[in-house]
């Protein structure tokens, strides 16, 4: 018998219930489609299978919300919870959040909140998908949508390189397939292949970077990587003169840059956004972006954070300088290129590249800010707001494709007259994307840029001020192309086929997103607070806390049931790290 | 086997294979060859992982087999990737009658 | 002795990798790729990961390479046509980029500064011992390492069922998704041609004529 096999706590599997439900429901949908619905017409199958998928999304929502509620209430209302799920489970859920499954996966407030978010967004995407027929493989289509979501959930929960790489690949491979699902159109297949080629090359580069990180630190767990880097000899200056570490960082940046579509790794994005069916584009531009940004924050601001700017100069050796440059280039390029676009989805692609640039400002800010947790919270807030605005916009794109068989901006002509209410909602979404008060997009940018300015006196401050100024300038530029959409809707004569009234499948997501961006614009505080408290467990030890963290975690024997990652951050947060503590309070 | 080979040799081999794979991705236009070049790059990373596993000492709590397990999953992922890639290439081939990435031209800009 | 074996394998492996990338004929490229996979499997054996070497042979040579062969056959690029050649304009910059990457990586490997407590890559010529030293003291990881080398299949199994349980499940899901999606995409429904999908049928009928290398370039250009 092998010695020292660590034992799993099987209650840990409760935490991945939403992902499990979606994975299983994908199979159900597939089988039902194959067995029962084969004889029906494509449109009928679309509605039946779509409705069935919505049931699965509902179940997953119950699971995700239930976990969130359990996690929140298990301490305060112990007795109620105990009656509900039994004392053992109640006690289990009452523990402070940490890692599960021997440190490979996180289960905390952040993952619970994001699971709910993914399920809600997935619900909207599934709903949009039922609006028109673009494929005849409906079973496969909905199953892959759900499995992509499973990938996203696990990606943003991963605490370890193995889990992260697997979840990343699960997500992207499902998205490659979904992109090519509109088999009757050439451009869908082409977009799928381009996405695949660029994506696989970038994940090969990414994997090589991961292998170098593993070689340098000897471990695959984020927190252990961080500890190894912190414990290293301060004299060796981080990555200065360490070409292997620099290559590792560069390769990892390529991988993440591809996933969040940052310049110069963005080439796939316009083609994929234009070629993929509109609901799939919605999911590529929101779900995969959220998950990639969450894991980007985790890796760069937790695992390899000691490499961010080791010499205490912002533009010194370290990933921070690169992120600053990439961010500046990304937002400028995205906005300028969007100005020239005639295709609505392609314009949104460049706008989403630009938004990735803004969010990278936030990533840079988290690393240098004295309020890392708040800064990360503002990135998350921005992500949520951006996601809802984009889902709504792509729902409109789906509608235009359905009725006018085209997705140029001029296909929106006259929408203001033919469907005033939906057009008004799109106006709200566009205003939010520009960042005009009082919509949520404005507060997203405001919080992001304020956090970027919120640092001590140093050279960093000047560089980030420049970055913020560039961001503001870019917001002004972005107004021009978003306004072109409004102009088409209201000041152009209706052209092309008359838009049929949108059914619930299109109207509801648009209206819901408009409501979300308006409500969280008028009252941003609850959401930003939620996101800040979600970002706390994600980056508990975000500060360069080499002296604050009690010397490296005690060398636990191998069969540690709760390994290092669970142990290290929690004491650091609880034992009065000033910044982290203030972050939790705020 | 009593070890006589330094760690560096394996790393050089991996680095060379990785570079060759990247050259293949950059130079070739045929989608299937690009796929093969990607496989070469993944294999290079796998050699790195296994070499680091064998020559390094695991820190506490990391598990005895981290590098090998990651390499194992990479093999799995590569299999899935190839299946998906061949599917997509066939799909495109039927539309354009060419497996050449440059030929696909319905999207531009 | 081991060094000579390593060098032979490395030269063969790199040669076949180059062959894959440069071969004009796609079937030759695939055969070179198989040789490369085999060289990698040999590397795994030299790293005392025999189980992984077996998996490498089974999955890569047994499945991936065969799948690639099918892909080559189905796209009729057997003899190589104008799409498989390398445009000259790209040749020099591409090779130069690859060479630069290699040089950077070699320098990186040579001067890699691991966090203290971990040996430098450049100086680690000996593998950590897996047997107890003279005093009979051995660390916990040594025992585990010995077990994992001597009985890797079993140790991998235990790891997959404990620490990597979720990753294992995810890998299953990934394979299912890839299977389902790839079939859905590559599947041709010729028996019941639904209206509105004429695009695929013409090309697919053409593809059934079998691998005719000569016809491919002409057909592909005329169809653009």
Q: What CATH number does the domain containing C55 carry?
A: 1.20.120.1200
Beta pairing partners, A106 = A99
What element of type H or E holds A107?
strand A105-107
Which of A65-74, A470-479, C70-79, C131-140 is predicted with the least confidence, judged by mean pLDDT?
C131-140
Q: What is the mean pLDDT of residues C199-210?
A: 39
User: What is the C-alpha to C-alpha distance for residues A465 and A442, in angstroms, rounded to an integer?
Assistant: 18
> Rounded to 5 degrees, what are φ and ψ at A363?
-60, -45
User: What is the C-alpha to C-alpha distance for residues A496 and A480, in angstroms, rounded to an integer?
Assistant: 24
Whether A564 and chain B come into contact, CB under 8 Å, resolves to: yes
User: What is the C-alpha to C-alpha distance for residues B35 and C28, in angstroms, rounded to an integer?
Assistant: 15
Does A210 sit behind a cis peptide bond, omega within 30 degrees of 0 on the bond before it? no
CB interface of B with A, residues 14-73, below 8 Å: 14, 18, 21-22, 25, 31, 34-35, 38, 41-42, 44-46, 48-49, 51-52, 56-64, 66-67, 69-70, 73
Taking only the tens place, the pLDDT of each residue in B36-92 is 999 999 999 999 999 999 888 777 767 788 899 999 999 999 999 999 999 999 988
- Choosing among 3.90.1200.10, 3.40.630.30, 2.60.220.30, 1.10.287.3510, the CATH entry for B7-100 is 1.10.287.3510
Domain hosting C56: range is: 1-82
pLDDT of residue A580: 36
State whether ipTM is beyond 0.85. Answer: yes
pLDDT of residue C210: 37
Q: Please name the member of B62, B73, B95 whose beta carbon is closest to the beta carbon of A221.
A: B62
Q: Is it the case that residue A447 has pLDDT exceeding 80? A: yes
What average pLDDT does the structure give for chain A? 83
Nearest to C68 by CA among A282, B30, A94, A18: B30
**Do the domain assignments include residue C126?**
no
Does A264 sit behind a cis peptide bond, omega within 30 degrees of 0 on the bond before it? yes
**Do the domain assignments include residue C125?**
no
User: What is the C-alpha to C-alpha distance for residues A482 and A433, in angstroms, rounded to an integer?
Assistant: 8
pLDDT confidence bin for C133, thresholds 50/70/90: low
Q: Is it the case that residue A283 has pLDDT exceeding 70? A: yes
User: What is the C-alpha to C-alpha distance for residues A14 and B88, in angstroms, rounded to an integer?
Assistant: 36
Per cent of chain A over pLDDT 70 is 87
Nearest to A570 by CA among A547, A553, A556: A553
pLDDT of residue B71: 95
Nearest CA-CA distance, residue A211 and chain B, Å: 5
Contact C49 B54 (CB under 8 A): yes
Taking only the tens place, the pLDDT of each residue in C43-62 is 999 998 999 999 999 999 99
CB B60 within 8 A of CB A557: yes
What average pLDDT does the structure give for chain C? 77
pLDDT confidence bin for C8, thresholds 50/70/90: very high
What is residue A263's DSSP assignment?
A: T
Residue C17: count other Cβ atoms within 10 Å of its Cβ.
Answer: 31
**Do the domain assignments include residue C27?**
yes
Kind of pairing, strands A105-107 and A98-100?
A: antiparallel
Contact B12 C40 (CB under 8 A): no
Taking only the tens place, the pLDDT of each residue in A182-231 is 888 888 999 999 999 999 999 999 999 999 999 888 888 888 888 888 77
pLDDT of residue C220: 36
Residues of A in contact with B104 (CB under 8 A): 190, 193-194
**Do the domain assignments include residue C132?**
no
Residues of B in contact with A275 (CB under 8 A): 106-107
> Rounded to 5 degrees, what are φ and ψ at A158?
-70, 145
Q: Is it the case that residue A501 has pLDDT exceeding 60? A: yes
Taking only the tens place, the pLDDT of each residue in A5-20 is 677 888 888 889 999 9
The H-assigned helical ranges of B28-65 are: 31-55
Residue ranges per domain, chain B? Answer: 7-100
Coil/strand/helix, residue B74: helix
Residues of C in contact with A180 (CB under 8 A): 185
Query: C147 with C71, same domain?
Result: no
Residues of A in contact with C174 (CB under 8 A): 151, 166, 169-170, 173
**B80 Cβ contact partners less than 8 Å away, ≥ 6 residues apart:** A169, A173, C174, C175, C177, C178
Contact C148 B43 (CB under 8 A): no
Among the candidates C82, C106, C128, a domain finishes at C82
Size of interface A-B (CB pairs under 8 A): 153
Residues of C in contact with A7 (CB under 8 A): 162
Contact C174 B100 (CB under 8 A): no
pLDDT confidence bin for B107, thresholds 50/70/90: low
User: What is the C-alpha to C-alpha distance for residues A147 and A137, in angstroms, rounded to an integer?
Assistant: 15
pLDDT of residue C10: 95
Whether B78 and chain C come into contact, CB under 8 Å, resolves to: yes
CB interface of B with A, residues 68-107, below 8 Å: 69-70, 73-74, 77, 80-81, 84-85, 87-89, 91-92, 95-96, 101, 104-107
Whether C144 and chain A come into contact, CB under 8 Å, resolves to: yes
Top mean pLDDT of A27-36, A404-413, C182-191 is at A27-36
Burial of A393 from C-beta contacts in 10 A (0-12 / 13-18 / 19+) = buried
CB A560 within 8 A of CB C141: no
Whether A562 and chain B come into contact, CB under 8 Å, resolves to: no
User: What is the C-alpha to C-alpha distance for residues C143 and C149, in angstroms, rounded to an integer?
Assistant: 10
**A465 Cβ contact partners less than 8 Å away, ≥ 6 residues apart:** A453
**C23 Cβ contact partners less than 8 Å away, ≥ 6 residues apart:** C29, C32
The number of residues making up chain C comes to: 224
Contact B75 C48 (CB under 8 A): no
pLDDT of residue A74: 77
Which of A163-167, A493-497, C82-86 is predicted with the least confidence, judged by mean pLDDT?
C82-86
Residue A434: count other Cβ atoms within 10 Å of its Cβ.
Answer: 21
Taking only the tens place, the pLDDT of each residue in A97-117 is 677 888 788 888 888 999 999
Q: What is the mean pLDDT of residues C192-208?
A: 41
Q: What is the mean pLDDT of residues A136-165?
A: 93
Q: Which of A160, A164, A208, A555 is most worth mutating to test chain B (most B CB atoms within 10 A of its CB)? A: A208
pLDDT of residue C206: 39
pLDDT of residue A239: 62
Token pair for residue A373? 């947790």
**Do the domain assignments include residue C117?**
no
Contact C33 B12 (CB under 8 A): no
pLDDT confidence bin for C134, thresholds 50/70/90: low
**Do the domain assignments include residue C182?**
yes
Contact A211 B45 (CB under 8 A): yes
The H-assigned helical ranges of A6-41 are: 17-35
Residues of A in contact with B38 (CB under 8 A): 200-201, 204
Whether A155 and chain B come into contact, CB under 8 Å, resolves to: no
For residues B15-42, one letter each, b for 16 or more C-beta atoms within 10 angstroms of the residue's C-beta and e for the rest, the string is bbbbbbbbbbbbbbbbbbbbbbbbbbbb
Q: Please name the member of C171, C173, C199 whose beta carbon is closest to the beta carbon of A147.
A: C173
pLDDT of residue C192: 45
Integer-rounded Cα Rg, in Å, for chain C is 24
Nearest CA-CA distance, residue B9 and chain C, Å: 9
Q: Is it the case that residue A581 has pLDDT exceeding 60? A: no
Whether B104 and chain C come into contact, CB under 8 Å, resolves to: no
Domain count, chain C: 2
Taking only the tens place, the pLDDT of each residue in A331-343 is 999 999 999 999 9
Contact A183 B91 (CB under 8 A): yes
pLDDT confidence bin for A425, thresholds 50/70/90: very high
CB A451 within 8 A of CB A531: no
């Amino acid at each position: 018998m092998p010695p020292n096999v660590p034992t799993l706590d099987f209650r840990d599997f409760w935490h991945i219930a939403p992902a499990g439900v979606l994975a299983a429901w994908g199979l159900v949908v597939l089988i039902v489609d194959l067995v029962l619905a084969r004889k029906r017409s494509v449109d009928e199958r679309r509605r039946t299978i779509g409705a069935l998928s919505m049931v699965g999304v509902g179940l997953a929502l119950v699971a995700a919300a239930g976990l969130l509620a359990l996690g929140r209430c298990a301490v305060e209302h112990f007795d109620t919870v105990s009656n509900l799920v039994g004392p053992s489970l109640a006690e289990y859920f009452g523990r402070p959040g940490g890692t599960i499954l021997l440190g490979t996966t996180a289960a905390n407030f952040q993952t619970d909140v994001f699971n709910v978010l993914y399920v809600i967004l997935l619900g909207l995407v599934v709903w949009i998908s039922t609006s028109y027929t673009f494929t005849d493989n409906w079973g496969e289509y909905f199953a892959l949508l759900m499995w992509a979501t499973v990938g996203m959930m696990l990606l943003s929960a991963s605490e370890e390189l193995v889990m992260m790489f697997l979840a990343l690949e699960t997500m992207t491979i499902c998205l490659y397939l979904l992109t090519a699902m509109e088999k009757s159109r050439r451009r869908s297949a082409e977009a799928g292949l381009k996405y695949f080629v660029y994506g696989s090359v970038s994940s090969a580069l990414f994997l090589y970077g991961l292998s170098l990180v593993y070689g340098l630190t000897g471990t695959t767990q984020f927190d252990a990587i961080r500890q190894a880097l912190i414990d290293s000899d301060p004299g060796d200056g981080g990555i200065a003169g360490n070409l292997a570490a620099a290559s590792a960082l560069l390769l990892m940046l390529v991988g993440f840059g591809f996933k969040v579509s940052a310049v110069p790794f963005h080439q796939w994005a316009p083609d994929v956004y234009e070629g993929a069916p509109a609901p799939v584009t919605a999911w590529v531009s929101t779900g995969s972006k959220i998950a990639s940004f969450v894991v980007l924050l985790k890796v760069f601001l937790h695992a390899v954070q000691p490499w961010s700017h080791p010499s205490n100069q912002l533009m010194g050796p370290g990933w921070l300088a690169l992120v600053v440059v990439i961010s500046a280039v990304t937002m400028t390029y995205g906005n300028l290129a969007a100005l020239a676009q005639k295709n609505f989805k392609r314009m949104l692609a460049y706008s989403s590249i630009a938004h990735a640039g803004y969010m990278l400002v936030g990533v840079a800010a988290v690393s240098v800010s004295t309020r890392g947790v708040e800064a990360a919270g503002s990135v998350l807030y921005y992500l949520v707001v951006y996601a809802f605005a984009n889902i709504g916009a792509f729902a409109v794109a789906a509608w235009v494709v359905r009725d006018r068989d085209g997705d140029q901006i001029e296909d929106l002509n006259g929408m203001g007259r033919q469907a005033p209410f939906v057009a008004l909602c799109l106006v709200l979404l566009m205003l939010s994307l520009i960042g005009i008060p009082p919509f949520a997009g404005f507060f997203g940018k405001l919080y992001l840029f304020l956090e970027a300015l919120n640092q001590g006196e140093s050279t960093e401050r000047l560089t980030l001020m420049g970055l913020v100024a560039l961001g503001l300038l870019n917001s002004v530029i972005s107004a021009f192309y978003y306004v072109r959409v409004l102009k088409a809707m209201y000041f152009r004569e209706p052209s092309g086929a008359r838009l049929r009234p949108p059914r619930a499948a299109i109207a509801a997501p648009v209206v819901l997103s408009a409501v979300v961006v308006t409500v969280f614009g008028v009252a941003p505080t609850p959401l930003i607070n939620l996101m800040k408290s979600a970002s706390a467990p994600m980056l508990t030890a975000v500060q360069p806390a080499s002296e604050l963290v009690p010397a490296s975690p005690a060398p636990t024997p191998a069969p540690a049931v709760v390994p290092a990652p669970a142990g290290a951050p929690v004491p650091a947060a609880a034992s009065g790290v000033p910044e982290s503590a203030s972050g939790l309070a705020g | 086997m009593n070890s006589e080979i330094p760690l560096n040799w394996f790393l050089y081999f991996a680095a060379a294979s990785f570079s060759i794979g990247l050259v293949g991705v950059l130079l070739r236009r045929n989608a299937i060859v690009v796929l093969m070049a990607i496989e070469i790059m993944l294999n290079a990373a796998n050699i790195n992982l296994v070499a680091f596993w064998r020559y390094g000492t695991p820190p506490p709590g990391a598990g005895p087999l981290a590098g090998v397990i990651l390499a194992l999953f990479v093999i799995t992922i590569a299999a899935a990737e190839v299946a998906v890639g061949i599917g997509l290439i066939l799909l495109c081939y039927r539309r354009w009658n060419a497996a050449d990435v440059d030929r696909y031209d319905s999207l531009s800009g | 002795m081991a060094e000579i074996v390593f060098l032979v394998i490395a030269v063969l492996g790199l040669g076949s990798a180059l062959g894959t990338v440069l071969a004009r004929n796609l079937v030759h490229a695939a055969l070179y790729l198989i040789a490369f996979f085999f060289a990698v499997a040999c590397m795994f054996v030299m790293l005392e990961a025999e189980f992984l070497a077996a998996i490498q042979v089974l999955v890569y040579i047994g499945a991936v390479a065969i799948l690639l062969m099918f892909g080559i056959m189905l796209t009729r690029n057997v003899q190589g046509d104008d799409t498989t050649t390398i445009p000259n304009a790209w040749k020099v910059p591409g090779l130069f980029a690859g060479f630069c990457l290699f040089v950077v990586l070699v320098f990186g490997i040579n001067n890699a500064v691991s966090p203290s407590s971990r040996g430098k890559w450049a100086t680690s010529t000996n593998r950590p011992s897996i047997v107890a030293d003279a005093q009979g003291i051995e660390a916990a990881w040594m025992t585990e390492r010995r077990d994992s080398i001597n009985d890797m299949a079993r140790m991998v199994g235990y790891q997959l069922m404990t620490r990597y349980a979720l990753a294992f499940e995810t890998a299953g899901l990934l394979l299912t998704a890839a299977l389902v999606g790839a079939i859905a995409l590559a599947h041709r429904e010729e028996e019941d041609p639904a209206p509105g999908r004429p695009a695929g049928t013409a090309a697919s009928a053409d593809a059934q004529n079998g691998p005719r290398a000569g016809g491919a370039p002409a057909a592909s250009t005329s169809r653009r």
